[in-house]
Amino acid sequence: MTPEQTLAATAVNAWRIYLERAEKFFFALDDEQLQKEIAPGKNRLIYLFGHLIAVHDAMFPVLGLGDRRHPELDAPFLTNPDRTVPTLPSRVDLQRMWTEVHGALNEHFARLTPEEWLQKHTLISDADFAATPLRNRLSVMVTRIGHMASHLGQAQIAPK
């Protein structure tokens, strides 16, 4: 394995580790547990679960991997705070969406070469990328790992 392949594989492995941790945590919750707040007056666990799905779903166009699967998750989990959208998807629907989004992302990630990971993402212009090549596809995934780890940490402090 070349150093470039090792670096890309290391990042993808970190993604999968945190994805498995989040899935294990959220899939083990029942409907009542998903309604618990991470702290009094803060987001509920169902909101964090849906939020992670929506953010990861948005990675498809950002990474140039195709269209989003579930743009309908924006209103309840990205553009509005928790408790402001009257109806949220069910636990079963969120689990299905999680599996769908992450299955497709992982398939794409497995096929990307180290060179493709280092290409620009779609939110940066060619000129800006030439000046700042660290704003690449890999950096998007790395920041999403940190985002997922942060929310997973919040979720784990919710009262049982």
Q: Which CATH superfamily is domain 3-156 in?
A: dinb family like domain (1.20.120.450)
* In contact, 98 and 91? CB cutoff 8 Å: no
Place of tokens 């705070």: 81
**DSSP per residue, 87-125:** ----HHHHHHHHHHHHHHHHHHHHH--HHHHTSBPTTS-
Q: Domain residues of the chain, as ranges? A: 3-156
Which of helix, strand or coil describes residue 35? coil
Backbone angles phi, psi at 123, to 5 degrees: -90, 5
- Model confidence over 74-122: pLDDT tens digits? 999 999 999 999 999 999 999 999 999 999 999 999 999 999 999 999 9
Whether pTM exceeds 0.85 = yes
- Model confidence over 40-78: pLDDT tens digits? 999 999 999 999 999 999 999 999 999 999 999 999 999
